[in-house]
Amino acid sequence: MIASSSNPAEIAELLAFYASAGVDEALEDAPINRFAEASRPKQSERPAAATTPVRESRSQEIPSSPARSDQGGITERQAPSPGLDASNVPDAPVRTATAAVPDEAQAALARQMAASASTLEELRRHMEAFDGCNLKATAKHLVFADGNPEATLMLVGEAPGRDEDIEGLPFVGRSGRLLDRMLAAIGLDRTSVYIANVIPWRPPGNRTPTPHETEICRPFIERQIELVNPKVLVNLGGPSAKTLLNTSEGILRLRGNWRAHTTASGIAIPAMPTLHPAYLLRTPAHKKLAWRDFLEVKAKLRALG
Ligand code: URA
């Protein structure tokens, strides 16, 4: 934060402005002059000692990922999606970030680490040791999952927001409380469902995860679904539905219709795309649509025994 005033009242006002604009944490203690950075020599031109250090692996057994070669060529900051909420606006245009090509080495490592996990605990350890996603650098916690790993119903959202990052659990903020009420309406709670996100680290400022970040994280959530092996999957919001159902259709078209999520071992899990609770908080008139979707889910669980 840059404050040109030393007047406490003005600083308090500036802080209040930042808070209302959704800026809830400083990523660095000191401001960075990006203009000065542009005139510095490129990494490849700098002496070896000045290169980015490789992050230390958090696990002895699991190979840490190599230092990221780049940040995916992303040159523009993406707009924040409040509480990851804006990203769940139905039928919002799919973002085509400048990073169209995922860092294949990191995605390949993620696939390898995900596939080699034979239990959920092992998967969590592998994800904790994985350094190939830049989001991990700014997140406080890995947000792995909440609920019952034996559950027959698994719900997958997009990515953690601020509250989830602080607590290390998915859907604990305002949208989480609405999700709890929606589950209660069909007789379920967190002891009878399993909840996770496509992206397990909070994007800074709740910005929309880039396609690059999504591709890197995808193997982990796919393996998590495979290990939980639920009878029914619910995709909360467009990003979860698009990623896990391999479609580019908007959530308003997708919702309410059964699809299938096919695991790496070829099992087709019935999947119900529905509206994200954060979207419902902003558009309460659509709660009735989500209600219908949840009734479908209840009926399907009953039919599948
Ligand atoms: N939104 C999500 O998609 N996931 C969370 O965990 C919280 C908000």
Q: Which atom of ligand 1 is nearest to the CA of 173?
A: 7
Amino acid at 104: E
The backbone torsions φ and ψ at residue 195, rounded to the nearest 5 degrees and listed phi first, read -125, 135
Q: Which atom of ligand 1 is nearest to the CA of 240?
A: 3
| pLDDT of 74 | 24
CB of 160 shorter than 6 A to ligand 1: yes
| pLDDT of 177 | 98
Q: In the chain, where does DSSP find H-type helix? A: 8-20, 34-38, 104-115, 120-129, 135-138, 162-167, 174-185, 211-228, 238-244, 251-254, 277-282, 287-304
Q: Which atom of ligand 1 is nearest to the CA of 83?
A: 8
pTM: 0.73
| Nearest-5° Cα angle at 57, 227 to 129 | 15
Instruction: Please state at what angle helix 120-129 crosses helix 211-228, rounded to 10 degrees.
Output: 160
Please answer whether residues 206 and 79 qualify as being in contact, where contact means their C-beta atoms are separated by less than 8 angstroms.
no
- Report the alpha-carbon distance of residue 240 to residue 159 in Å, rounded: 9
Mutate to test the pocket of ligand 1, among 197, 206, 240 (most ligand atoms within 8 A of CB): 197
Q: Which atom of ligand 1 is nearest to the CA of 87?
A: 3
| pLDDT of 235 | 99
Distance (Å) of CA 29 to CA 2, 32, 75, 111, 271:
10, 9, 23, 35, 44
What pLDDT digit, counting tens, does each position of 63-105 carry?
Answer: 333 332 222 222 233 434 433 443 444 444 333 334 445 689 9
Query: Which residue reads 């929309």 in tokens?
Result: 208
Burial class (CB in 10 A: 0-12, 13-18, 19+), 82: middle
Taking the centre of ligand 1 as the mean of its atom positions, its distance from the CA of residue 84, in whole angstroms, is: 6
Q: What is the DSSP letter of 112?
A: H
Instruction: Please state at what angle helix 211-228 crosses helix 104-115, rounded to 10 degrees.
Output: 10
| pLDDT of 27 | 59
CB of 208 shorter than 6 A to ligand 1: no
| pLDDT of 26 | 63
Q: Which atom of ligand 1 is nearest to the CA of 158?
A: 3
- Report the alpha-carbon distance of residue 259 to residue 272 in Å, rounded: 6
Low-confidence residues in the chain, pLDDT < 70? 1-5, 16-102
CB of 175 shorter than 6 A to ligand 1: yes
As beta bridge partners, residue 196 has: 156
Please answer whether residues 163 and 171 qualify as being in contact, where contact means their C-beta atoms are separated by less than 8 angstroms.
no
Taking the centre of ligand 1 as the mean of its atom positions, its distance from the CA of residue 37, in whole angstroms, is: 34
**Judging by DSSP bridges, how do beta strands 259-262 and 268-274 pair with one another?**
antiparallel
| pLDDT of 88 | 45
| pLDDT of 103 | 82
- Report the alpha-carbon distance of residue 122 to residue 59 in Å, rounded: 11
Taking the centre of ligand 1 as the mean of its atom positions, its distance from the CA of residue 147, in whole angstroms, is: 14
| pLDDT of 81 | 41
Helix (H) / strand (E) containing 155: strand 153-157
Taking the centre of ligand 1 as the mean of its atom positions, its distance from the CA of residue 158, in whole angstroms, is: 6
How far from chain centre, in Å, is Cα 233? 17
Is the domain covering 104-304 a CATH 3.40.470.10 domain? yes
Instruction: Please state at what angle helix 120-129 crosses helix 104-115, rounded to 10 degrees.
Output: 150
| pLDDT of 23 | 59
| pLDDT of 71 | 27
| pLDDT of 19 | 59
Taking the centre of ligand 1 as the mean of its atom positions, its distance from the CA of residue 191, in whole angstroms, is: 18
Tokens of 76: 């523009």
